[in-house]
């Protein structure tokens, strides 16, 4: 039996990629590879997590890989993403 992660962690990861994708679309970040390279993260892992999150809900139950906590911190620190939004889904995506 594969491990599963709780729904709250899945939602945090969705918001992480939502913010990162917006930053990429608005040219504030060069891309997933750039973000991973700048922060010494495994690009393949992050690409796989993003792909899994885009699958239907039933497929997500078996995904036990999660983003690193420091990746959340870097997204907030380097790109002004609101920690309240990314962790709790409260307020705006970006700090004012």
- What pLDDT digit, counting tens, does each position of 27-82 carry? 999 999 999 999 999 999 999 999 989 887 655 545 568 999 999 999 999 999 99
What integer pLDDT is reported at residue 79 of this predicted model? 96
Tell me if 72 is assigned to some domain.
Answer: yes
Length of the chain in terms of residues written: 96
94 against 5, higher pLDDT? 94
Tell me if 55 is assigned to some domain.
Answer: yes
For residue 28, the tally of other CB atoms under 10 A from its CB is 12
Tell me if 13 is assigned to some domain.
Answer: yes
Tell me if 62 is assigned to some domain.
Answer: yes
Containing structural domain, residue 34: 7-88
Tell me if 56 is assigned to some domain.
Answer: yes
What integer pLDDT is reported at residue 57 of this predicted model? 65
What is the DSSP code string of 23-47?
Answer: HHHTTSS--HHHHHHHTT--HHHHH
Q: Give the whole-angstrom CA distance, residue 87 versus residue 9.
A: 9
Q: Give the whole-angstrom CA distance, residue 55 versus residue 71.
A: 22
Tell me if 96 is assigned to some domain.
Answer: no
* Tokens linked to 96: 């004012």
Whether the predicted pLDDT of 2 surpasses 70:
no
Tell me if 94 is assigned to some domain.
Answer: no
Using the CB atoms, write b or e for 54-64: b if 16+ within 10 Å: eeeeeebeebe
Report CA 48 to chain centroid distance, whole Å. Answer: 11
Number of domains in the chain: 1
Alpha-carbon torsion (91, 93, 95, 96), positive or negative: negative
Tell me if 31 is assigned to some domain.
Answer: yes
Whether the predicted pLDDT of 6 surpasses 80:
yes
Whether the predicted pLDDT of 1 surpasses 60:
no
């Amino acid at each position: 039996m594969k491990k599963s992660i709780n729904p709250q962690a899945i939602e945090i990861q969705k918001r992480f990629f939502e913010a990162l994708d917006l930053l990429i679309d608005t040219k504030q970040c060069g891309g997933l590879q750039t973000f991973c390279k700048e922060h010494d993260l495994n690009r393949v892992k992050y690409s796989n997590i993003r792909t899994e999150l885009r699958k239907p809900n039933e497929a997500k139950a078996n995904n036990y890989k999660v983003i690193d906590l420091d990746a959340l911190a870097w997204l907030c620190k380097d790109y002004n993403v609101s920690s309240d939004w990314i962790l709790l889904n409260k307020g705006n995506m970006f700090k004012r």
